[in-house]
Structure 1
Amino acid sequence: MPVTDVSDARAVLDGVRDLLPTFRDRADEAERLRVVPEASVKELEETGFFRLLQPRRFDGLEADPVTFYTAVRDISSACGSTGWVASVVGVHPWQVALFADEAQQAVWGHDTATRLSSSYAPTGKAVVTDGGYTLSGRWSFSSGCDHCSWVLLGGLVFNTDGQVVDFKTFMVPREHYQIVDVWNVVGLRGTGSNDIVVDEVFVPEAFTLSMSDTGRCFGPGQEQNTSDLYKLPFHSIFTGTITTPIVGMARGAYAEHVEMQQKRVRAAYLGEKASLDPFAAVRIARASSEIDAAWALLVNNIREEQEHVARGEKIPLALRLKVRRDQVLGTQRAIDAIDALFEASGGRALAEGTYLQRAWRDAHAGRVHAANDPERALQMYGAHEFGHKVDPGMY
């Protein structure tokens, strides 16, 4: 259905679920192309998916983040690469809503279907100049960049004396950056997570956002976009977009494992049906619990943050750290479930074209994302529990 007909975020979920068989059928094509097929992106656009977190004043839905995560989880259960790209591209309207109005107008003023990719690691250098910054650098892992006409890039800001004075996100239009095709990998092959190169490009002040501001849940765009949606912590919203696809992959792997075991006959055990093996039953019970726990904690924590925002309260640092604690452990729970299911599925799970082997590769590829670094997030949580000072800027 045309996006202009989407008036209810629930309709987006229905539209996404209708597409799942198609996404599953195209999973091999995505891996072969090393990018999500254009047809899949177009179909997601038509459901209104990319508008879920977009401001209403730009034809968005300002939907509940849990609705967004649910859609991502479902897409990932059919194709991990499609779910990953949908998640990281689909969350960017939320951050664009925090930029100054001039930047929002530049992105959506002429076309509210404009999409952005990103690479937030501060591998670029920005030098303060009159009215803005001169940005240069090379950034890796910009998932879905081929389907986008703007990019969000992290960079350290240097003053004229060469000292670092800030860490910002810079918004750059397609004509000012180059995409370098480097994405030849074993997992998440279909995400097209290529490099972005910028060479001495001027970025106006209005097209930047300080991470110190987002760390305190502030952005100049809140003046126009007053919804509670845009008052949630950046690192809660964005790290959830990294864990959710992996939880979705685990759900897809679980469904395929159960189906395979119901049909499987184990020759080494005198033709016994695998589904009659009591140990097989225990394995799926454990795996399903890990998957459910990862999802339940993600949803519960976002809900708890929303309650504080709705009451006009500052979100406690302890809660923000708990979000990150459960996010990294949620990723680990989902991967542990996939590993257990894969190991118990027999040799047929190794065949090309099975969801299970692809989910195993994709989930481990997603695990190496910086947002899934468990030790750092867990150390911060533990340090705070012991009463030590913790910088909330990155959490």
Structure 2
Amino acid sequence: MAHEVVNRIEELGPELAALAEENEALGKLSNKTVDLMRSAGVIRLLQPVEYGGFAAHPRDFAESVMALAQRDGAAGWVAGVVGVHPWELAQMDPRVSQEIWGENPDTWVASPYMPNGVADPVEGGYTLSGRWPFSSGSDHCDWNFLGALAGNGKGKPAQPPAVLHVVVPRSDAPIQEDTWDVIGLSGTGSKDVVVDNAFIPAHRVVDQTEIQTGVAAARAGRTETLYKLPFTSMFPLGITSAVIGICEGALALHMSQQRDRVAVTGVQVKDDPYVLYAAGEAAAEIQASRVHLIDGISRLYEKVEAGGEVTVEDRSVVRRNQVRAAWRAVSALDEIFARSGGNAPRRSNPLQRYWRDAHVGLSHMIHVPGVAYHANSLATMGLDLAAPMVGLT
């Protein structure tokens, strides 16, 4: 049974799809799109119930992102990225949740997590400086999750390196306009943000390893299964869901356009077995991607709920399949796009936007297969993984 948020997105589908072209032209989501997303509650799916959230099964989150991306890839992408942040906030000091959601449970938090700054320890907290690209949805977010290297007290990274996640108000992380000029996912508005020597109270900072290992969730008193899941399984979930949803939307549009298309040979496409073969195969591959992704996170959820411990090998399998799901879906999209006819690349045809959005989504570092596949092979053989590899698994 579909979650109520998924049902709302389905109902709003035509409106969301009609706004996709405007979002691309704006280089960010329109206010109307954001209003629709807020009314659907998609960003609150992983938010704790005491702050107006659903604390839903991650499967429901993935399906909502896919449903949104089917209509507008940029909106789905923002939902997939921004929608994971409430999950992590729930594991931090309760003061952070109160600051962000105390007055408005629909307050959004952007990111990125890449450690592009240094958080230097000072009395009561840290000072933070740096520049972060790819802050998706930042125009509509009042806070940012920023990755940073722990400092040594002198403005330089401490040794050995430690990655911190730092929560920063928008006033301390101004958006740098004209920093998101791209060929796909333009509507995500994934612009740069800059922080210049801002003071960050200690309660707004958490060590990345504490989120990954469940230490933060336990310290925060979180007993819900949702908040015991690994960061490296949850964070990729939203991003890959968006890519699969984009491919699902492209497939649906391709099929509707091919129904009455006549090729230059004069043959109706519905009578062309080669095009239909490719469409059928692509449909199966995209469906397999959806099932594979949701199966992985669901298996982890079930294991944690039953009191089991998620091992590095468990995580590596989920990451391997998550990466493969994205590549499988986009490869299938390539096959049908190549058979969609000469009108497919026209700017007036939304199919070309789906195709561009999917490829830009695939380029995210979370979809790079090398480390994911390598780590899974080592873990499956019972061999140790190097520390940096464990952090990405």
Q: For the superposition of Structure 1 and Structure 2, which TM-score range results when normalised by the shorter chain? A: over 0.9
* Equivalent-residue separation in structure 2 for 1:85 and 1:282 (angstroms): 33
Residue 68 of structure 2 corresponds to which residue in structure 1? 75
For residues 294-309 of structure 1, the aligned pairs below 5 Å read 294-309=289-304
Picking from 228, 231, 250, the partner of 2:228 is 231
Q: Once the two structures are superposed, what CA deviation does each residue of 1:193-216 show, in whole Å capped at 9, x if it has no partner? A: 000100001112210111111221
Q: Paired residue for 1:5?
A: none
Partner Cα distance (1:222, 1:265) in 2: 63
For the residue of structure 1 that corresponds to 2:355, the secondary structure is helix
1:383 aligns with 378
Which segments of 5 or more consecutive residues in structure 1 lack a partner in the other structure? 1-7
Query: Could you tell me which residue of structure 2 aligns to residue 358 of structure 1?
Result: 353
Provide, for residues 222-242 of structure 1, a one-character-per-residue CA deviation record: whole Å limited to 9, x for no partner: 634421110011111110111
2:120 to 94, 108, 127: 127
Contact 1:140 1:195 in 2 (8 A): yes
* Aligned position for 2:190: 193
Q: Tell me the distance in 2 between the aligned counterparts of 1:220 and 1:256.
A: 42
Aligned residue in 2 for 1:215: 212
The letter for the 1-side match of 2:373 is: L
Coordinate RMSD, CA, aligned: 1.5
After the TM superposition, which residues 141-152 of structure 1 pair with which residues of structure 2 at under 5 Å, given as runs? 141-152=134-145
Q: Which residue of 1 aligns with 2:367?
A: 372
- 1:10 and 2:13 aligned: no
Q: Distance in 1 between matches of 2:3 and 2:162?
A: 40
Alpha-carbon distance, 1:169 to partner: 0.5
CA 1:130–1:21: 2 relative to 1, 3 Å: same
> Any stretches of 5+ residues in structure 2 without a counterpart?
none
For the 8 Å contact 1:236–1:320, the answer to whether it is kept is yes
Q: Are residue 19 (structure 1) and residue 16 (structure 2) matched?
A: no
1:87 partner letter: G
- Per the alignment, residue 292 of structure 1 pairs with 287
Letter in 2 for 1:312: G
Question: Structure 2 residue aligned with 1:171, among 159, 167, 173?
Answer: 167
Using the TM superposition, give the Cα deviation of residue 105 of structure 1 relative to its aligned residue in structure 2, in angstroms.
Answer: 1.4
Distance (whole Å) between structure 2 residues aligned to residue 61 and residue 222 of structure 1: 21
How far has the Cα of 1:9 moved from its partner?
7.8
User: Is 1:322 aligned with 2:320?
Assistant: no
TM-score by length of 1: 0.94
Query: Which residues of 2 match residues 311-350 of structure 1 at below 5 A?
Result: 311-350=306-345
C-alpha distance in 2 between matches for 1:158 and 1:223:
25
Q: What is the distance in 2 between the residues matched to 1:55 and 1:317?
A: 27
Is the contact between residue 28 and residue 353 of structure 1 (CA under 8 Å) also seen in structure 2? Answer: no
The answer to whether the 8 Å contact 1:179/1:195 transfers is yes
TM-superposed CA distance for 1:151, in Å, is 0.2
Percent identity between matched residues is: 37
In 2, distance between residues paired with 1:90 and 1:281? 36
Contact map agreement 1:76 1:249 (CA 8 A) in 2 = yes
Q: 1:297 & 1:249 partners in 2: Cα distance?
A: 16
Partner deviation per Cα, 1:79-109 (whole Å, 9 max, x = no partner)? 1111111211112111111111111111112
Question: What is the alpha-carbon distance in structure 2 between the residues aligned to residue 292 and residue 216 of structure 1?
Answer: 32
SS at match of 1:119: coil
CA distance in 2, matches of 1:239, 1:14: 23
On the 8 A contact 2:58/2:298 being kept in 1, the answer is: no
Report the more deviating stretch, 153-162 or 67-76. 153-162
Corresponding residue number in structure 2 for 1:3:
none
Q: Partners of 2:153 and 2:73 in 1: how far apart? A: 44
| Letter matched to residue 372 of structure 1 | H
Describe the SS at the equivalent of 2:96.
Answer: helix
Residue 265 of structure 1: SS of its match in structure 2?
coil
Could you say which residue in structure 1 is the equivalent of 2:22? 29
Residue aligning to 2:181: 184
- 1:110 maps to 103
The CA distance in 1 between the partners of 2:130 and 2:29, in whole Å, is 26
Question: Could you tell me which residue of structure 1 aligns to residue 392 of structure 2?
Answer: 394
Letter paired with 1:177: A
Moved more, 250-259 or 383-392: 383-392
The equivalent residue for 1:261 is 258
Partner letter of residue 109 of structure 2? L
Matches of 1:221 and 1:142, distance apart in 2? 29
Opposite residue 138 of structure 1, the aligned amino acid is R
C-alpha deviation, 1:316, in angstroms: 2.1
Q: Which of these residues, 234, 259, 269, is aligned with residue 274 of structure 1?
A: 269
Would you say the 8 A contact 1:134–1:200 is kept in 2?
yes
1-structure distance, mates of 2:172, 2:2:
34
- The answer as to whether partners of 2:92 and 2:220 remain within 8 angstroms in 1 is no
SS at match of 1:88: helix
The letter for the 1-side match of 2:176 is: V
Partner residue, 1:283:
278
Alignment: residue pair count = 386
Question: Does the alignment pair 1:248 with 2:241?
Answer: no
Amino acid of the residue matched to residue 208 of structure 1? Answer: V
Counterpart-to-counterpart distance in 1, 2:31 and 2:146: 24
